Amino acid sequence: MLAASCGQAPPSGATVVTFPGSMLGGEGAVLRAQLQRFMREHPNIRVVQRDTPDAADQRHQLYVQWLNAEASEPDILQLDAIWTPEFAAAGWILPLERFNPDTNAFFPVTIEANRWQRRLFAIPWFADVGMLYWRTDLMPRAPTSLGELEQEAARAKARGLRFGLVWSGARYEGLVTVFLEYLGAYGGQILEGGKVVVSSPAGLQALTTMQDEIYRSGIVPSSVLTWHEEETRFAFQNGDAAFMRNWPYPYPIMGDGAVSRVAGRFAVAPMPAASNGAPTAALGGAQLAINARSENPAAAWAVVDYLTRPEQMLERARVTGQFPTRRALYDDPALAKSLSVPVAQAREIIEHAVPRPVTPVYTELSEILQVQLHRVLTRQIDPARGLARAAAEMQALLNRAGLGPGTPLAQH
């Protein structure tokens, strides 16, 4: 459904708002349905959908192209978790205070990830969180520490399982999200103010742990270094792994006995802590923002507001299994029926969620970090040197961009 957004005369008095989004499968269906309902309730606003690529970097590139050209369309943007500060700092999206959004209703971490210079630039739509999948038939409860996780994994391997633990370790953004969770387990951070602190002792411990899991204890196969989310899912789904770290999307798939060998035999928990840290879940998901050059910001806000209401979030959870970002919904029995993941576990994991560094140059920082992390994990360089090099490059980038420590923009 490729809708041309101009050249169509709306009924007199109607404002036309363009909404780019995925038209695929369940997501596309529920979005279309919700927009239809919205248009019935708001007869003077017409929402035109625009097909955009599903791959995140392609969509990002398209947005950058449109926004940089100062196009007034699309009016609404569907942002990945890491794009908000970038677009906000470039002046491409509207700060939303003028619309008085009810920020307290959402999980604080999801709101904080969408702030830049203390102003809110996007509304969290649904949340994705990294979580630990564990085999309920192999152990009585989820491991409460990283050490316990490794022990259980080793034990499972000794008993004949192919892999102890699997995560996506190819050289891409996913690797950074995995690393983020290990980093949180040791109480570390990537960025603090404008200072890169990833090469701290906590960082070193986290990366060394990951490396040791592959080469010392062997609980993680080295093939993960070419895996993205799907290969990781296959490994766990075929019953070859005791633990998997992945996003929520595999949950309903693996619950289907027709395709999964572990249906009914797994559960989820946050990635556990090690020393000095806390259980950590990398935060992903989508947010809705308004084009700064939109000609109909009020109408655009009406759409955004509607789509992020509790009823719509519940419906979305039912159809696509995506986690709502409103806290109160997790007490609602309706959500328990909609989500395949048990509600209490989902809430616990979201409450341990940590965003990636909220900075406009996150994509470039991530590139640098990915390269060094992967080099360490493929043993081309040792963890200390790899992290030091990454930190130096990242800091240089931040300084060049006027985002280093002490600069006004560093105080996010």
Partner 1 sequence: MRGRKWTGADVVIAVLLLGSAFPFYWAIVSSLTPEARLFQKPSLLPTSLVLDHYRTLFAERGFWVPIRNSLIVAGTTTVFCVVVGAFCAYALARLRFRGKAPLLALILTVSMFPQIAIISPLYLVLRSLRLINTYPGLILPYLTFATPLTVWLLVGFFRQLPVELEEAAMVDGAGRLRTFWEIVIPVALPGLAATAILTFLYCWNEFLFALSFTLGPERQTVPVAIALFRGRYQVPWGQILAAAIVATAPVAALVLLFQRRIVQGLTAGAVKG
Partner 2 sequence: MHSTDLRRGLERREARLAWWLVTPAVGTILLVALFPLAWTLWESVHLHDLRMPWLGRPFVGAGNYAEALGDPRFWSALGHTGFFTGISVTIELGLGLVLALAMNRATRGRTLIRAAVLVPWAIPTVVSALLWRFMFDDQAGIVNVVLGTIGLTHEAIVWFIRPDLAWVPVIVSDVWKTTPFVALLLLAGLQNIDAGLYEAARIDGASTWQQFRHVTLPLLKPALLVALVFRTLDSFRVFDLIYVLTGGGPGTSTEPIALYTFNSLLQNLRFGYGSALSVITFGVSFVLAATYLRLLGRDLTEAKS
Biggest CA-to-CA distance, the chain? 72
Nearer to partner 1, 31 or 273 (CB): 31
Task: Find which of partner 2, partner 1, none residue 86 binds, CB within 5 to 8 Å per kind.
Answer: partner 2
Closer to partner 2 by Cβ: residue 282 or 373: 373
Per CB under 8 A, residues contacting partner 1 are 2, 4-7, 24, 50, 53, 65-66, 69-71
- CA–CA distance from 286 to each of 56, 73, 77, 172, 346 (Å)? 11, 19, 10, 19, 17
* CA 279/CA 272 separation, integer angstroms: 4
In this complex, which beta carbon is closest to partner 2, that of residue 57 or of residue 137?
Answer: 57
Q: Is 203 helix (H, G, I), strand (E, B) or coil?
A: helix
Contacted entry of partner 1, partner 2, none for residue 64, CB cut-off 5 to 8 Å set by kind: partner 2
H or E, element range at 340: none
Cβ closer to partner 1: 61 or 276?
Answer: 61
- Cα–Cα distance list, 260 to 79, 234, 240 (Å): 32, 9, 11
Q: How far is the CB of 29 from partner 2 (least distance, A)?
A: 31
Q: Which is nearer to partner 2, 68 or 411 (CB)?
A: 68
Which contiguous run of DSSP H or E holds residue 360?
Answer: none
Between 23 and 206, name the residue whose CB sits nearer to partner 1.
Answer: 23
Strand partners, 271: 280
The Cβ of residue 286 has, within 10 Å, a number of other Cβ atoms equal to 21
Residue ranges that bind partner 2, judged by CB under 8 A: 61, 64-65, 68, 86, 89-91, 360, 401-402, 409
Of 8 and 65, the one with the shorter C-beta distance to partner 2 is 65
From partner 2, partner 1, none, interface partner of 401 (C-beta below 5 to 8 A by class): partner 2
Shortest distance in whole angstroms from residue 401 CB to partner 2? 6
Kindly state the smallest distance separating residue 66's Cβ from partner 1, in Å. 6
CA-to-CA separations, 27 to 83, 105, 283, 390, in angstroms, rounded: 21, 23, 20, 37
> Is the CB of residue 202 less than 8 Å from the CB of residue 277?
yes
Minimum separation from the CB atom of position 65 to partner 1 (A): 6
Task: Report the distance separating Cα 347 and Cα 345, nearest Å.
Answer: 5
Q: How far is the CB of 129 from partner 2 (least distance, A)?
A: 28
Taking the complex as a whole, how short is the minimal distance between the CB of residue 21 and partner 1, in angstroms? 14
What does the DSSP 8-state code read for residue 271?
A: B
Question: Which of partner 1, partner 2, none interacts with 71 (beta carbon under 5 to 8 A by kind)?
Answer: partner 1
**Which residue lies nearer to partner 2 by CB, 105 or 409?**
409
66 interface partner picked from partner 1, partner 2, none, CB below 5 to 8 A per type: partner 1
Angle between helices 362-377 and 201-215 (to 10 degrees): 50
For the CB of residue 281, give the shortest distance to partner 2 in the complex, in Å: 29
Q: 89 contacts which partner out of partner 2, partner 1, none, CB within 5 to 8 A by kind?
A: partner 2
* Cβ atoms of residues 53 and 59 within 8 Å: yes
Q: Which is nearer to partner 2, 61 or 275 (CB)?
A: 61
Of 24, 388, 27, 390, the residue nearest 175 (C-alpha): 390
Going by C-alpha positions, the residue among 114, 105, 132, 388 that lies closest to residue 270 is: 132
Rounded-to-integer distance, Cα 390 and Cα 352, Å: 26
We find the least distance from the C-beta atom of residue 249 to partner 1, in angstroms, to be 17
Smallest distance from partner 2 to CB 359, Å: 11
> Are the C-beta atoms of residues 103 and 111 closer than 8 Å to each other?
yes
7: partner contacted, choices partner 1, partner 2, none (Cβ within 5-8 A by kind): partner 1
For residue 53, the partner it binds in partner 1, partner 2, none, with Cβ less than 5 to 8 A by kind, is: partner 1
